[in-house]
Amino acid sequence: MTNAILTGLMLGGMYALIAMGLTLQYGVARIMNLSYGEFLIAAAFASHWLFTGWAISPFAGLALVVPLAFALNFAIYKLLLTPLVRRAPNRDALEVDSILATFGLTFVIQGSMLALFGGAYYSYSFLAFPVQFLGETVAANRLAALGITILLGLVLYLALTRTRAGTAVRAVAVDPFAAQLVAINVPQASALTFALGGALVAAAGVLVSTFLTFSASSGVVFTMKALIVVVMGGVGNMLGCLVAGLALGLSESLVASYVDPGLTLAVNFALFLAVLLVKPAGLFGRATR
C-alpha cells in the first residue's frame, strides 16, 4: 500500500510539473497549445543527446535546455501566434485558432523528430540505483526529479505571488482589458508567460527523460495528461495543478496495482469527467465561463 501511494505521489508530482507550463500558457496567454507534449519530447531528446553524446548530466543540461526553450517559445509566440491574436475578434475565436495552429505545429515537430530519430524508443541510464525512502525502495532518479519538481514549483509560486512581474501576470490572467488600464503591457506579458510555460515544459521533459522511455511520437500522451490536469485543477491555477496532478497520479497508481494496469487511462477520463460534471470550472477554477 505504501509503495502504491509513494509511486502515485511521484507520478502525480510529475503530472503537476508537466501541467504547470500549460496552465500558464492557457491561463495567461490564452493559447491552448496542443503541441505542448511535443516540446516535452524535444527537450527529452535534447537531454538524451547531451548525456550520451557529451556526457553532460541532465541536471546540468537543464541550464542549457531551459533557456533555449524559453527563447524558442518566445519566438514562436511572436512569429506564429501574434498574427492569430491580432486576427481573433474575441477570446473564444483565439482559443479555436490557437488550437488549430498548434495542432499543425504538432505534426511539424513530431515529423521532424521522426525524421531525425526514427520511431524507436529511447532511454538512458542516469542515477538508476535504488534508495531507501520512507521505508520503501525507490529509484534515485525519480526521487531526484521529484525534488527538483518541488523546488521549481515553489520558485514559480513565490515568483507569481511575491514579485511585481508575477502580480502583473496574474492580473492579465484575470482580466486582460483591466490589466491594460493599470499600465500592464499585455502583449508583452502574454509573450513572456508563453515562453515561461515553454521553459517549464522543457524542464519537465529533461526530468522525465531520466526515468521514462520515450519516442518521437509519445508527445500526445503528455499533452493529454497535461490538459486533463489543467482543466481538472482550474485553468491558470497553480495549486489546482498540484492537487489535480496528485489526484491523477494516485488514482492511476492505485488502479494499476489493485485493479488492472490496462485501465489507467479509463480512470483518468472517469476522474476528468466526474470533476467537470460537478464543477465545470475545475476544482479551483473561478466560475467565469
Partner 1 sequence: MNARTAGIAVLALAAFVLLGFVPRLGNAYYLALAISLLQYTVLATAWGMFSGPTRYVSLATTAFFGVGAYTVAVLGEILPWPLVLLIAAALGAIVAAIVGLSTLRLSGVYFVIFTFGLTELIRQLVVWFEVNKSRVLGRYVFVDITQADIYWQLLALTAAVFLLGWLIARSRLGFALRVIGEDETVAKHCGINTTFAKVALFTISATVMTLVGAIMAPRWTYIEPSIAFNSMISFQVLIMALLGGAHRLWGPVLGAVPLTLLFELLSARFPNTFTIILGCIFLLIVYLLPRGVAGLFEKLTAPGGKTTGRVAA
Q: Which residues in this chain contact partner 1 in the complex, by CB under 8 A?
A: 26, 32, 34, 83, 87, 92-93, 95-97, 99-101, 103-112, 114-115, 220, 224, 227-228, 231, 260, 262-263, 265-266, 268-269, 272-273, 276-277, 280, 289
**Eight-class DSSP state of 263:** G
Q: Shortest approach of partner 1 to residue 11 CB, angstroms?
A: 17
Q: Shortest approach of partner 1 to residue 137 CB, angstroms?
A: 29
Q: Shortest approach of partner 1 to residue 65 CB, angstroms?
A: 23
Q: Whose Cβ is closer to partner 1: residue 54's or residue 269's?
A: 269
- Cell match 490564452: residue? 30
Q: Shortest approach of partner 1 to residue 235 CB, angstroms?
A: 9
- Whether 77 contacts 194, CB under 8 Å: yes
CB atoms within 10 A of CB 111: 13
Q: Could you give the C-alpha distances from 224 to 139, 186, 190, 242, in angstroms and in order?
A: 26, 28, 23, 16
Q: Shortest approach of partner 1 to residue 247 CB, angstroms?
A: 17
Measured in whole angstroms, the distance separating CA 210 from the mean position of its chain's CA atoms is 16
Element (H, E) at 137: strand 136-139
Amino acid at 25: Q
Q: Whose Cβ is closer to partner 1: residue 210's or residue 264's?
A: 264
Q: Which of 12, 10, 20, 18 is nearest to 159 (CA)?
A: 20
Q: Shortest approach of partner 1 to residue 282 CB, angstroms?
A: 10
What lies within 8 Å, CB to CB, of 210 at 6+ separation is 47, 58, 124, 126, 127, 141, 144, 145
Q: Shortest approach of partner 1 to residue 277 CB, angstroms?
A: 7
Q: Whose Cβ is closer to partner 1: residue 5's or residue 220's?
A: 220
What lies within 8 Å, CB to CB, of 34 at 6+ separation is 99, 102, 103, 105, 106, 223
Question: What is residue 224's three-state secondary structure?
Answer: helix
Q: Whose Cβ is closer to partner 1: residue 175's or residue 260's?
A: 260
Q: Whose Cβ is closer to partner 1: residue 75's or residue 266's?
A: 266
Q: Which of 169, 198, 174 is nearest to 75 (CA)?
A: 198
**How many Å apart are CA 180 and CA 41, to the nearest integer?**
36
Q: Whose Cβ is closer to partner 1: residue 101's or residue 195's?
A: 101
Q: Whose Cβ is closer to partner 1: residue 114's or residue 165's?
A: 114
